[in-house]
Amino acid sequence: MELSQRDRLSELVEELTTSGQPQLNQYRMKEIKKICKVSNDCIEHVYHSVMSQLNQEHAEVRLSAFQIATELFSRSHHFRTLLVDNFQDFLELTVETDSEQPLPPPKEVARKLRSLAIQTVQSWQSSYGTAYKKLALGFHFLKQVKKVDFHDAEARTVAERRMEEERRRKMERIYKERVEAVSKDMEESYQEIGATLTEMESCMSLLFPGFDLTNIQPTNNTPPNSQPANESPSVDEQPCCSSDLQEDRREGMMQEKEGTRVEKKSNFEGKIGKEDKGMTEKNMNNTEATTGQEKKERDDKERRDGNEQQEEKKGKEDWEKRKREEEGSSEEEEGETLDQDLFIRNSGLMSHSYSLNLNLSPGLHVRETEDNEAVVSTVMDLHRLIITKHLPAVQNWVQVFTKSGAEQQLLMRALDLKRSLEAALHKHKELHIDYKTRVRKVMKASSDGDDDDDFDEVPEKEGYEPHIPEHLRAEYGLDPVPSTSTAPVTKEAPAEAPPRLSSRQLKRLAEEEQDPTCAAATLRRLTQNLALPAESSNSSGPSSSQKAVDAPVVPFGLDLYYWGQEQPNAGKIIKSASQHQFWVPIEVDEEVENKELLAESRSRYISFPGSFTPVSHYCSAPLDNGKLCQRQDRLKCPFHGRIIPRDQDGRACMKEDRLREEQEERRKREEQPDWRDAELMRDIEAATGEDLGSDRLGKKGKGKKKKYPNLSDLKQSTNTSRSRLEKKVLNKSAMRRVAEVMSKADRRKHDKFSNQFNYALN
């Protein structure tokens, strides 16, 4: 055999085996065959190179080598004899007959190799088994001793099959247990979930009776009409409900929010005294015609304005108000001309150009008010219950049932439950309930009940009271200080409602304000600072109580006790003579004058912590993404160092600062950060065609090129965060450093306490 042929063969075999492809390259293979055809020497050479490749610890290499062997095995007798002579090793390397020599990674390829090898051995046996004894022996060995089932697609040995079987049985048992547990669990909580759903449903229909999305709820078919009897008035109430609702409806269904609000109120009123309310309503309608209604409506809106005005742009709002009013007031005009005087008398409004502010929010919107607070909180609780408990549980059941293939019925039931729960959640979402901030229930459980009771009994609540006398404000849970942040248009209106807070919340807020760590305290300071001047201008006269607040309160002390007098024996230490019978101390002065003590008793420390001023400047150092740093630290930003004055582009204003920054930048650029990995950069360069300077970097690192780029990298799996950390934490120098520190600590302890027995030992 010529040397060139030999070299060419080795080259081809290496190329083929290191291609990493699941299939051989046909052209190369053909070339090998062509050379092999020439002489047996070539075959021998190929055989040896294939065997050496089979010995490589890489499943892809082995697979390719095995494929070459298969190709040649069916062609050449000589190759067959050679291979069969060494069939033990061949089987070890491809079928994994020796359990101590498992097939190398990657795993999937190894599995593929194994099953392919077993199938191939079987086909060889059927075609050549009679002629090659060792082949037959090997086949029988696989069949009899290793108990390979050649019909099994996975080509597993008996041991593996048994293990599989055992695992399956175990899983089955576990699943069965689980299904039992889960079905029991489901039986138990089925009722509960059903109750929850019903409750949720009725709550929602209370909040919004016209809610016609019931059809999305397949199981819980409670129609909105079938509410408990005592709540039905809400439906009956609708016609006699204030006309503004109808008006709103007419104006556009978009204003449902308004509608719901009023409706809710009427709901509530219906509960406390339907007849009373009807009476008053009628009266109002009779006497004041539309004015009362309008006022009410306006007040309503203004009350809301108080909440929303911060968010809305004033000018726009005004414009909108005008526009809205023009639309809405068409109906009211006749009434207005008639009862103008009456209107002025009643409302104190000099002008008719009051404004309406309607929020055109799409979809439903339920706002929590005091009226529907109980219902809303129930809904909230139920919602939370469903989210945190029922839905996960049901999902878990469904999962268990589907995984274990349990009875269809159980699964259906679980799915039904899940669907209805989800429907309830969806519905809840549709309602867009605005929750108020809430006091934790556990703390106020008892008072909560009381509140509810009060709620029902209070008769004043029945109608809307536009004017609340000053002395009653606290009772109504209103801020004693009226908010100044109302719109200028409403200034003349009688003291209107500030953001409404329940008495509970108020209490809570007060508590929070006492706590200096709480944000509320800061807020209070701010509001006090802001509010006080306004208050003084608004209210009739500054009250004395407010002055007392301004005066500092200091703890009582000796200096105050002797205020303006001479202290009798200040700064004197009086030593009493010994009372002992015969032990007498040496003569000492009975009184010792002490300057320091004297000064101390006369002076008083008053600490001036200063007042809290919130930081108004930003760090505004330029960030990578082009923005400026938005951190508001007082002196030093943790990322950008000392805060220095900067212009709007983030450049430092002072010259020395700018110089320093530039220097820093240069320094940073010089030391290479970790992410500028040479290989990564080389990749990027290859992709973009731009020189990023990877060569420079590459020289620094080892930059070892992979020998066979096509093979899957076995070491890749080792490049995990854990291994990287290990490399850092467990490297030699780090270990040495730690050991040094620890031994130093030990030595110190030893030096200190070596004379003590229990320390001396270690």
The site for another protein (CB under 8 A) is made up of 30, 33-34, 37, 74-78, 80, 85-86, 88, 91, 97, 127-128, 130-134, 137-138, 140-141, 144-145
Shortest distance, position 138 Cβ to another protein, whole Å: 6
Closer to another protein by CB, 117 or 289: give it.
117
Residue closer to another protein by CB (options 144, 733) is 144
Q: Is the dihedral of CA 40, 46, 51, 54 positive or negative?
A: negative
Q: How far is the CB of 15 from another protein (least distance, A)?
A: 18
Considering the complex, state which of residue 144 and residue 613 has its C-beta at the smaller distance from another protein. 144
CB 272 within 8 A of CB 460: no
Residue 517: which residues within 8 A CB-CB, separation 6 or more? Answer: none
Helix (H) or strand (E) holding 385: helix 373-385
> Smaller CB distance to another protein: residue 100 or 589?
100
| 88/632 with CB nearer another protein | 88
Q: Work out how close the CB of 33 gets to another protein at its nearest, in angstroms, rounded to a whole number.
A: 5
Give residues with Cβ within 8 angstroms of 61, minimum separation 6. 17, 18, 53, 54, 711
Nearer to another protein, 133 or 403 (CB): 133
- Name the minimum Å distance from CB 76 to another protein: 5
Least Å distance, CB 142 to another protein, is 8
Question: In the bound complex, what is the minimum distance in angstroms from residue 417's beta carbon to another protein?
Answer: 56
Q: How far is the CB of 732 from another protein (least distance, A)?
A: 38
Residues with Cβ within 8 Å of residue 120, at least 6 apart in sequence: 66, 70
Q: Which among 320, 21, 373 is positioned nearest to 207, based on CA atoms?
A: 373
Q: Per-residue DSSP letters for 88-124?
A: HHHHHHHT--STTSPPPSPHHHHHHHHHHHHHHHHHH
Smallest gap from Cβ 120 to another protein, in A, equals 15
For residues 122 and 217, which CB has a smaller minimum distance to another protein in the complex? 122
**Of the two residues 78 and 631, which places its CB atom closer to another protein in the complex?**
78
Q: Measured from the CB of residue 164, what is the shortest distance to another protein in angstroms?
A: 23
Least distance in Å: CB of 736 to another protein?
A: 40
Q: Are 222 and 202 in contact (CB under 8 A)?
A: yes
b/e burial code for range 739-751 (CB count within 10 A of at least 16 → b): eeeeeeeeeeeee
Cβ-defined contacts of 139-142 (< 8 Å, 24+): 141/91, 141/97, 142/91, 142/95, 142/97, 142/118
- Kindly tell me which of 80 and 277 has the beta carbon lying closer to another protein: 80
Q: What is the 3-state secondary structure (H, E, C) of 520-586?
A: HHHHHHHHHHHHHHHHHHHCCCCCHHHHHHHCCCCCCCHHHHCCCCCCCCCCEEECCCCCCCCCCCC
Q: Which residues contact 309 (CB under 8 A, 6 or more apart)?
A: 317, 485, 486, 487
**CB-nearer residue toward another protein: 137 or 501:** 137
Q: How far is the CB of 46 from another protein (least distance, A)?
A: 13
Beta strands 572-574 and 591-593: pairing type?
antiparallel
Q: Give the whole-angstrom CA distance, residue 449 versus residue 457.
A: 13
CA dihedral 73, 79, 85, 86 (to 10 degrees): -70
Residue closer to another protein (CB basis): 75 or 473 = 75
Instruction: Report the C-alpha dihedral over residues 119, 123, 126, 131, rounded to 10 degrees.
Output: -110
Measured from the CB of residue 720, what is the shortest distance to another protein in angstroms? Answer: 37
- The distance of closest approach from Cβ of residue 96 to another protein in the complex, given in angstroms and rounded to an integer, is 13
Q: Which is nearer to another protein, 8 or 389 (CB)?
A: 8
Cβ closest to another protein, residue 88 vs residue 483: 88
Nearest residue (CB) to another protein, 81 versus 309: 81
- Residues 354 and 491: their CA atoms lie apart, in Å, by 11
Measured from the CB of residue 67, what is the shortest distance to another protein in angstroms? 16
For the bound state, the minimum distance from the C-beta of residue 81 to another protein, rounded and expressed in Å, comes to 9
Of 33 and 271, CB closest to another protein = 33
Sign of the Cα torsion 607, 608, 613, 618 reads negative
- Rounded CA separation 688/675 (Å): 18
- Cis bond upstream, residue 233 (ω within 30): no
Long-range contacts of 108-114 (CB under 8 A, 24+ apart): 109/22, 109/59, 109/60, 109/63, 109/712, 110/59, 110/62, 112/22, 112/63, 113/59, 113/62, 113/63, 113/66, 114/155
Distance CA 13, CA 62 (A): 12
Nearer to another protein, 71 or 300 (CB): 71
CB atoms within 10 A of CB 156: 19
| Cβ contact 337:172 at 8 Å | no
Q: Judge contact between 295 and 466, C-beta under 8 A.
A: yes
Residue whose entry in the numeric block shows the structure tokens 């965060």:
721
Determine the 3-state secondary structure of 516 from DSSP: coil
Burial status of residue 263 (CB atoms within 10 A of its CB: 0-12, 13-18, 19 or more):
buried
Q: How far is the CB of 77 from another protein (least distance, A)?
A: 5
Contact yes or no for 598/570 (Cβ under 8 A): yes
3-state helix, strand, coil in the chain (%, to 5): 60, 0, 35
DSSP 322-378: HHHHHHHTTTTHHHHHHTHHHHHHHH----S---------SS--EE--STTHHHHHH
The residue among 79 and 343 lying less far from another protein, judged by its C-beta, is: 79
CB of 721 to another protein, least distance (A): 42
Q: For residues 97 and 420, which CB has a smaller minimum distance to another protein in the complex? A: 97
CB 365 within 8 A of CB 261: no
Q: What is the C-alpha to C-alpha distance for residues 36 and 39, in angstroms, rounded to an integer?
A: 6
CB of 389 to another protein, least distance (A): 59
